[in-house]
Amino acid sequence: MKPINLAIADDHKIFRNGLKAMLEDCPDFKLLIEASNGKELIGQLATHTPDVILMDIKMPEMDGMQTTAYIHEHFKQIKVLTLSMHNEDKYIVDMMKAGASGYLLKNAEPEEIIDAISTVYEKGFYFNEHLSVTLIKQLVGPGSYTDSAGQQTVDLNDREIEVLRLVCQEYSNQEIADKIFLSVRTVEGYRARLFEKTGSKNLVGLVIFAIKRGIISV
C-alpha cells in the first residue's frame, strides 16, 4: 500500500519537530510539506499534493480556519485534520464548518493521532467522543447552526435514507457497499446526491440534517 502523504501547518517549530519525529517512525506516512502558516502551505500545494494536512488554528498571516476554508473550496480531495491546543466548543465547530474532517487536541496520545490520520484518509472524517458530543451539543441546541437546506421539504427515497444512516455511523463507502450489496461507485453516487438534495457542504451538514429530520437519534 502506498504511504499516506502528509503536510504539517503549525507556527511552533518545536511542536512541528516533535510531530515530524513521531511520523517518521510510521512507515505508512510520508511527510511532503512543512509550513509555519497557511499562506506558506498553500504556496507549496502548487508542487506537492498531500492526502491529509495536520492543521493548527492560530497561525500568523493566514490562520488555520481561513486556510481550511480555502483548501475545502480549491482542493476538495485533500483532508484537513485539526491539531490544536484550543478545547473550546467554538473552535471545534468553526473548524468543522470550514471543512475540517476531524479535530484533535495537541496533547492527544501519538496512537490517537496516527489512528485519526489513517481514519481521515480511509473514511474522509474522524470523530472521537469529545468531538461528537461537542458537535451534537452545538449543532442541534437552541440557536444552533442550521444546514443550508433549512427546514424545506427534502424528498429522500428509502435507499438514500439507508445510505445516509450508514454515513452518519461513520462507515466508509467501501463498508457501506459491502453492507448493502452495492458497488462503491453506486454508493459514491448516493452520497453525492445526498449532499445535493440536503444542501450540505460536508459530513457535518449531513449529520445535522439527519438529526433534525429524525433520521438518526442522539
**Please, are residues 164 and 194 in contact by the beta-carbon 8 Å criterion?**
yes
User: 115: how many CB neighbours lie within 10 A of its CB?
Assistant: 15
The pair phi, psi for residue 215, each rounded to 5°, is -75, -35
Q: Is the pLDDT of residue 63 over 50?
A: yes
Q: Is the pLDDT of residue 185 over 80?
A: yes
**Between 46 and 208, where is the model more confident?**
46
The pair phi, psi for residue 7, each rounded to 5°, is -135, 150
pTM here is: 0.70
Q: Is the pLDDT of residue 21 over 50?
A: yes
Q: What is the mean pLDDT of the chain?
A: 86
Distance (Å, whole) CA 153 – CA 196: 13
**Between 205 and 41, where is the model more confident?**
41
Average pLDDT for residues 39-67, to the nearest whole number?
Answer: 96
**Please, are residues 26 and 6 in contact by the beta-carbon 8 Å criterion?**
no
Reported as a pLDDT band with limits 50, 70 and 90, residue 35 is very high
Q: What pLDDT digit, counting tens, does each position of 97-137 carry? A: 898 988 899 999 999 999 999 989 988 888 776 666 556 55
Question: DSSP per residue over 108-138, as a string?
Answer: S-HHHHHHHHHHHHHHS----HHHHHHHHHH
Q: Is the pLDDT of residue 218 over 60?
A: no
Query: What's the pLDDT score for residue 137?
Result: 57
